[in-house]
Amino acid sequence: NAGVTQTPKFQVLKTGQSMTLQCAQDMNHEYMSWYRQDPGMGLRLIHYSVGAGITDQGEVPNGYNVSRSTTEDFPLRLLSAAPSQTSVYFCASSYSPPLDENTGELFFGEGSRLTVL
């Protein structure tokens, strides 16, 4: 039972470098999303997707790109990393957007800690 798998777990980048955080889920979930966690800010939604080919912006989308070519994968791309993007990133998925109790549970990956120097 892999659930939601994120890679890499740790990454150090220099300002201006690009990279992709990978996220894969094996639960056939339609809904996937990316959050970042910063001290005192909680979890903030970056981008989300309700199915292959469909994505939308969250609270803090600037500096990040996403695409959803398959149900299983939802990569997050940083095109030109900045120190402000130093954070812990979480990918999450669920069966459907939260519609009623017990169906909206998000399953999170273990997180990817990114440091931008």
Partner 1 sequence: DQQVKQNSPSLSVQEGRISILNCDYTNSMFDYFLWYKKYPAEGPTFLISISSIKDKNEDGRFTVFLNKSAKHLSLHIVPSQPGDSAVYFCAASAPGMIQGAQKLVFGQGTRLTINP
Q: Which residues bind partner 1 (CB under 8 A)?
A: 4, 31, 33, 35, 40-45, 48, 50, 54, 56-59, 90, 92, 97-102, 104-111
**17 or 95: whose CB is closer to partner 1?**
95
Cα(65)–Cα(108) distance, integer angstroms = 20
Q: What is the rounded distance in angstroms from the CA atom of residue 6 to the CA atom of residue 3?
A: 10
Nearest distance from residue 14's CB to partner 1, in Å? 25
Write down the least CB distance from residue 102 to partner 1, Å: 7
Nearest-angstrom CA–CA distance, 114 and 116: 7
Measured from the CB atom, the residue of 43 and 52 that comes closer to partner 1 is 43
Residue 10's SS3 state is strand
Indicate the residue among 48 and 74 with the shorter CB distance to partner 1: 48
Asked whether the beta carbons of 115 and 12 are under 8 A apart, the reply is yes
Could you tell me the smallest distance in angstroms from the CB atom of residue 25 to partner 1? 12
105/116 Cα distance (integer angstroms) = 31
